[in-house]
Amino acid sequence: MVFRKFKERVFAAGQAAGLEELEIYGTRAKQFNVRVFEGEVDDYRVSLEQGMGLRAKFGGRVGYAYVESLDEDSVQYLVTAAKANAQINESEDEVDFYAGSPDYPRVSCYNEQLAGVSPEERVSFCLELEKAALGADERVFKVNYAITGYEEAEVYIANTKGLEQGFATNGAYSYVSALVRQDGQVKSGSKLLFDKDWSKFDAGKLAQEAVQEAVSLLGASSVSSGGYRILLRRDVARDLLSTFVPVFSAEAVQKGLSLLQGRLGELIASPSLTLVDDPLLENGAATAPFDGEGVAGRRKNVIEAGRLTTYLHNLKTARKDGVESTGNASRPSFKSPVGIAPTNFFIEPGQAGFADLIQALGDGLIIINVQGTHSGANPVSGDFSLGAYGYLVQGGRIVRPVEQLTIAGNFFRLLENVEAVGSDLEFGNPGYRGNVGSPSLIISNLAIAGI
Amino acid sequence: MLSENVITDVLLAALSTGGDFAEIFMEDTYSTQIRMLDGAVDEAVSGRDFGVGIRIFQGWQSVYAYTNDVSREGLIKTAREAAAALRGVPAGKTVVLARLAVEKFNPVRLEPRLVKHGDRVAVMKRAHLAAAGFHEQITQVAVNYWDVDQNVCIANSEGLLVEDRRVRTRLSINAVASKGQEKQSAFRGPGRHMGFELFERIDVEEIARDAAQSAVTMVNADYAPGGKYPVIIDNEFGGVIFHEACGHSLEATSVAKGVSEFSGKLGEKIASELVTAVDDGTIPNAWGSQNIDDEGTKTRRNVLIENGILKGYMIDRLNARRMGMEPTGNARRQSYKYAPTSRMTNTFICAGESTREEIIANTEYALYAKRMGGGSVNPATGEFNFAVAEGYMVRNGKIAEPVRGATLIGKGSEILQKIDMVASNLATGQGMCGSLSGSIPADVGQPTIRVAEITVGGRKEAN
């Protein structure tokens, strides 16, 4: 394996330069992505990407460097740059490099069947996806996105304390977005799927969901401003949870950037809410045997029946708090320093189906989309104010679509105001904030600004 | 970087299945990022990004591949894998490369590899001290430093062979103010297409104090009233509203496919006659400037809207084919890992004739958005959403109390029509713009403008 050989040279050069400890984190990824437009493949991408990050200690302090070409120049560059970066580091935090866990869980992150799907099959799936969306309703005039992709990666970690571990992972995704028009009004609807199980990729079903949503929004108008009972559809609940993921990080807590500071063991959410981080979840996009520091993964509840049970830790924050690492050290890429992120992070589903939740909502709004989570939400204060649309519900029935709303509130109040948790847990697009999932949630009150 | 022979062979391999155009983008980039929290550096990363992207067109179809294996064999293998998508026969094209000299209007004096780490850290400490010492409510200051030295070589089957270097430097300051359990943060991020001489051009202390002032004002502010009413958007980073709500819809990426609300509207009145807007990649040393774009086309000053009339779009090579128009020097990409597409460079609404003071004095009731946060837009419908980072109410022609938590929502096309006053104080602010071809540096800008009405999302009833 290419990393193993390169590692020996980096460790030798590093030790010669006086570096006290060295750790290599390497990834090698293959990606495939196809986009179809008007019956033609209009975008087709393939890539092979490899790189290696060095984390090194000098004078007890940590410095980082990375390269993408594994040649002799890169060996010298890594060692020199990481040393210089360690020399300006003034952090007082003690950082441990990890010698390895006694046992690593056996998890399957690599689906052989998925890996065996040919590029041709993926292309025809994508062509079918666009065709199905165009044919799903006569009001569809354009399918602005029909995308399918696949990626696989090898992850490798090794350090001078004796750790050497690796694993392979893969996954496929598909996204379709359709535009419908009626009486001059244009609406869009979309559907995203990320899964390791290729049999879940049903073009007709994905297209139907996207188009039905777009059509259901035709004739939307605003509502008057005020407080409403709200049903957050699963994907919206997930987007909000994903936006506020940093508040659960022990690093944010220790730096005073999380309002969950000092609240361990307290009731911070409705008793109907349990929040789980599970790196061993079967078929999970973020499933992995170990984290970004080589610590073995384990399942834990972060919120249990409304009570905050733990923060997410890596080795550095765990040492500071005098606890064990929760196995949440993250390396979003070989370029990134060790941080903290959840793995498969989700609100445990309840019993009620989506239709039951609408019934239980009675009078209120269903929110099926929020925009602006990267700008209209403040992870420090928990405040959010987001563009939104959805449906007006009266007497337990959907009355009409609504648009041009903003929903405003505070994430921490929202957790307290969860009245019911649905059974429809769904995950989104895994990213540097982990693989986040949620069922639909009823919130007893949120402020809405309309016309 | 690569020899002309290797480039020619790779381009021919890319054309081996019937492609009618092939392009190579090679990149060797060094960057340094340093993070300082509360006055102490706690993280520093240096890196070298190195790889090649290969793109093939056949009519309107596009194929993209990239690799870090830049050996002749590795590149030809990658070119063939990409070409496999087309399944045609070679059209018998030949490639004759001719090296093109680039006119360099973004001079760089203190290039990153000559800058000492200690000097970088010293600038960061100055920013920290100025912000942290501004007010007792400032409880945290994060300062980030970033410099990047990107060397690119672009070649294509039409014979173009061109090299360019882009050096950028940026300092960003995030100040957090606290009051009891409440916290508010404010961000400033000055940057230029230049080296370390950036710090001879900007007043680090003043910018840091400005961030601190903003955070303190907001932590002591009450929530903004929701409703539909006039909004005055200040100059500089206020231009993000035009960038998000209109700029993205003028990119060929959405125009060519007819999914933009501005598709097919050239020559039509799409904005108030007070609005003239340009995208200009040729401003010396500006954050979004480049000598050439990422397809090797010279950057230009493109008029988008003139006195309310739609005059032009921002167009890359592939979409130029779809639209039957010329590329405008707007093809950009984060790195060799992205196929380029039409993107903004430095985009702004041009100066008008009012002044900020006049606009405020002539307004009975409005939200004054002094600093905008980020935002996003759905290019299909033009619906946008922006956060107001620092806001005030205007009452009876005067700036009144500060307000927080406001967002502006609406449609780009409607807002453009509703701009009813434009000041002369054009200024720009720096941002990182994320879209299909990755995250790229872009300047946004405008003078102070007034919009007759926007839906303001807030938590209180309007009063």
The size of chain A, in residues, is 451
Name the residue ranges covered by the structural domains of chain A: 2-216, 226-449
- Nearest-Cα distance to chain B for A266, in Å, is 17
- pLDDT at residue A342 tops 90: yes
pTM to 2 decimal places: 0.89
H or E stretch at B100? strand B98-100
The tally of CA atoms less than 13 A away on the side-chain side of residue A180 is 26
Of A97, A24, A164, nearest in space to A325 by CA: A97
Query: How far is CA A64 from its chain centroid?
Result: 25
Of the candidates B140, B115, B164, the residue with the CA atom closest to the CA atom of residue B36: B140
Asked if pLDDT for residue B463 goes beyond 50, the answer is no
Residues 149-208 of A with CB under 8 A from B: 177, 179, 186-188
**Where are the alpha helices (H) located in A97-197, listed in sequence order?**
112-115, 119-135
Considering only CB atoms, B376 lies closest to which of A40, A375, A447, namely: A375
The full length of chain B comes to 463
For B60, the closest of A42, A256, A450 (CB atoms) is A42
More confident residue, B379 or B89: B89
Neighbouring C-beta atoms of residue B41, cutoff 10 Å: 23
The Cα of B264 is separated from the nearest Cα of chain A by a number of Å equal to: 16
Residue-wise pLDDT for B308-341, tens only, equals: 999 999 999 999 999 999 999 999 999 999 999 9
SS3 A81: helix
Nearest to B244 by CA among B156, B372, B70: B372
> Is the pLDDT at A440 greater than 80, yes or no?
yes
User: What are the tens digits of pLDDT across the range A366-383?
Assistant: 999 998 777 778 888 898
State which fold the A2-216 domain adopts. Answer: PmbA/TldD fold (3.30.2290)
- What value does the mean pLDDT take over residues B438-455? 96
Chain A, chain B: beta-carbon pairs less than 8 Å apart: 227
pLDDT on residue B381: 73
Q: SS3 for B344-358, per residue?
A: CCEEEECCCCECHHH
- Integer Cα distance of A79 and A19 in angstroms: 8
Q: From residue B384, how far is each of B24, B249, B414, B440 by CA, in Å?
A: 36, 11, 11, 20
Tell me what pLDDT residue B379 has.
64
Residues of A in contact with B50 (CB under 8 A): 67-69
Residue B458 confidence (pLDDT) above 80? no
Superfamily of domain B4-219: PmbA/TldD superfamily (3.30.2290.10)
Q: How many CB atoms lie within 10 A of CB A139?
A: 15
Examine the pLDDT at A201 and tell me if it is beyond 80: yes
Taking the Cβ of residue B296 and every Cβ of chain A, the question of whether any pair is shorter than 8 Å is answered with no
Residues 86-115 of B with CB under 8 A from A: none
Residue A92 vs residue B350, higher pLDDT: B350
Interface of B with A in 357-376 (CB under 8 A): 373-376
Q: Do B64 and A44 touch (CB under 8 A)?
A: yes
Whole-number pLDDT of residue B435: 87
Percentage above 70 pLDDT, chain A = 100
Whether chain B has a CB inside 8 Å of the CB on A243: the answer is: no
Domains of chain B by residue range: 4-219, 222-457
Read off the pLDDT of each residue in B341-370 and give the average, rounded to a whole number: 97
| Residue of B66, B407, B413, B432 best to disrupt the A interface, most CBs of A under 10 A | B407
Q: CA B295 → CA A160, B302, B354, B382, distances in Å? A: 44, 17, 40, 28
At residue A257, the pLDDT reads: 83
Q: Is the pLDDT of residue A451 over 60?
A: no
> Please, which residues have CB within 8 angstroms of residue A390's CB and are 6 or more apart in sequence?
A233, A365, A366, A367, A368, A369, A401, A402, A405
> Is the CB of residue A31 less than 8 Å away from at least one CB of chain B?
no
CA distance to partner chain A, nearest, from residue B103 (Å): 30
Mean pLDDT of chain A: 95
Q: What digits encode the pLDDT tens for the residues B218-254?
A: 999 999 998 999 999 999 999 998 998 899 999 999 8
Q: What's the gap between Cα B323 and its chain centre?
A: 24
The pLDDT of residue B461 is above 70: no
Task: Return the structure tokens found at A66.
Answer: 């990375």
pLDDT, mean over chain B: 94
- Mean pLDDT across B430-450: 95
Residues of A with CB below 8 A from B51's CB?
A: 49, 68-69
The four Cα atoms A12, A14, A17, A18 give a dihedral, to 10 degrees, of -100
Q: How far is A149 from chain B (nearest CA, A)?
A: 14
| Contact assignment for A380 to B50 by CB distance below 8 Å | no
B43 touches chain A (CB under 8 A): yes
Centre a 10 Å sphere on the Cβ of residue A373 and count the other Cβ atoms it contains.
18
Any CB–CB contact under 8 A between B40 and chain A? yes
Q: A346 versus B184: which is more confidently predicted?
A: A346
The closest of A231, A281, A287, A258 to A444, measured between CA atoms, is A231
Interchain CB distance below 8 Å, A374 and B374: yes
pLDDT at residue B171 in the model = 98
Mean pLDDT of the region A138-143: 96
pLDDT in tens, A53-81: 999 999 999 999 999 988 888 999 999 99
